């Protein structure tokens, strides 16, 4: 990840052929604005330019327009989310229950660590304006497809190990589980204090994965 630029000196121009570096710095600046500022309205083309220490029109060499910046941010963070889920799954070992909770908690952690990013990833204001830009519906759908297949995979492992009740539609259950995680993650990202007990996450996961009761508890 490119560290955010809080500029004072006039910024060294990139070498020839390294102009693409600025693209990453622009995305990093947009993310920095998102993280520190209240909402995505703080991420304007001009504010991004200020944050990156460049002149506003310089952005047009790398992005067609303002929504394109937001789109790039979303795509990058989607990749990071997918990578985090994969990594959590790999580190969890072979036990299906461990894998399930590892992946789900990783999802919730990513959302909790960067609430503002999570907000624009799923249901941010960039979505409508994207109609005019380059992204296709399929591209948009496939962004979360990897995460869903991973969830379905883990659910299948739970069923196979006999710790979850059998299912007629693993993918459907994966979608339902994801929707539950999303509901929790999104609500946490939006309100300052979540109502309800502390173990809501376990409740959601246990119920939506159809885990059989009386199993070991999750650490």
Partner DNA sequence: GGAAGTAAACTAACGACTGTAAGTCTACGA
Partner DNA sequence: TCGTAGACTTACAGTCGTTAGTTTACTTCC
Residues making contact with a second copy (CB under 8 A):
38-41, 119, 122-123, 125, 127-129, 137, 140-141, 144-145, 148, 165, 169, 171-173, 175-176, 178-184, 186-187, 189-193, 195-197, 199-200, 203-204, 207-208, 210, 213
Please name the residue that has the structure tokens 């199993």. 215
Q: How far apart are CA 147 and CA 142, in angstroms?
A: 9
Which one of DNA, a second copy, none is in contact with 57 (Cβ closer than 5 to 8 A by kind)? DNA
- In this complex, which beta carbon is closest to DNA, that of residue 73 or of residue 102? 73
Q: Which is nearer to DNA, 60 or 87 (CB)?
A: 60
Q: Among a second copy, DNA, none, what binds residue 11 when CB lies within 5 to 8 Å by partner kind?
A: DNA
Give the range of 59-67, 74-82, 94-102, 111-119 binding DNA by CB under 7 A.
59-67
Half-sphere exposure of 27 (CA within 13 A, CB side): 17
Q: Which does 1 bind (CB under 5 to 8 A by kind): a second copy, DNA, none?
A: none
DSSP annotation of 2 = P
Query: Which of 6, 11, 79, 194 touches DNA (CB under 7 A)?
Result: 11
- Residue (of 87, 95, 74, 212) closest to 154 by Cα position: 95
Q: Judged by CB under 7 A, does residue 60 bind DNA?
A: yes
103's tokens: 């992946």
Whichever of 31 and 170 has its CB closer to a second copy, that residue is 170
- Candidate residues 31, 45, 81, 170; the one interacting with DNA per rule CB under 7 A: 45
Q: In this structure, what token pair is assigned to residue 187?
A: 């609500």
Would you tell me how many other CB atoms lie within 10 Å of the CB of residue 64? 12
Closest CB 158 distance from DNA, rounded Å: 46
Pick the closest to residue 70 from 129, 114, 15 (CA basis). Answer: 129
Q: Which of residues 64-103 bind DNA (CB under 7 A)?
A: 65-66
**Who's near 64: CB < 8 A, 6+ residues apart?**
133, 134
Select the residue interacting with DNA from 9, 15, 128, 138 (CB under 7 A): 15
For the chain, the helix, strand and coil percentages under 3-state DSSP, each to the nearest 5: 65, 0, 30
């Amino acid at each position: 990840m490119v560290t955010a630029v809080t500029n004072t000196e006039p910024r060294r121009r990139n070498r020839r052929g390294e102009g693409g570096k600025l693209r990453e710095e622009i995305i990093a600046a947009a993310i920095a604005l998102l993280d520190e500022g209240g909402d995505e309205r703080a991420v304007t083309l001009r504010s991004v330019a200020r944050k990156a220490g460049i002149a506003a029109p310089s952005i047009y060499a790398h992005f067609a327009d303002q929504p394109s910046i937001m789109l790039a941010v979303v795509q990058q963070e989607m990749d990071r989310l997918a990578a985090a889920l994969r990594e959590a799954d790999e580190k969890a070992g072979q036990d299906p229950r461990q894998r399930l909770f590892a992946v789900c908690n990783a999802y919730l952690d990513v959302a909790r660590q960067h609430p503002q990013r999570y907000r624009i990833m799923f249901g941010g204001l960039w979505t409508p304006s994207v109609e005019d830009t380059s992204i296709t519906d399929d591209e948009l759908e496939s962004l979360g497809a990897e995460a869903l297949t991973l969830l379905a995979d883990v659910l299948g492992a739970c069923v196979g190990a006999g710790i979850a009740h059998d299912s007629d539609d693993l993918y459907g259950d994966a979608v339902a589980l994801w929707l539950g995680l999303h509901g929790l993650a999104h609500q946490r990202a939006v309100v300052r204090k979540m109502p309800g007990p502390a173990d809501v996450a376990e409740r959601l996961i246990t119920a939506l994965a159809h885990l059989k009761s009386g199993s070991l508890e999750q650490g």
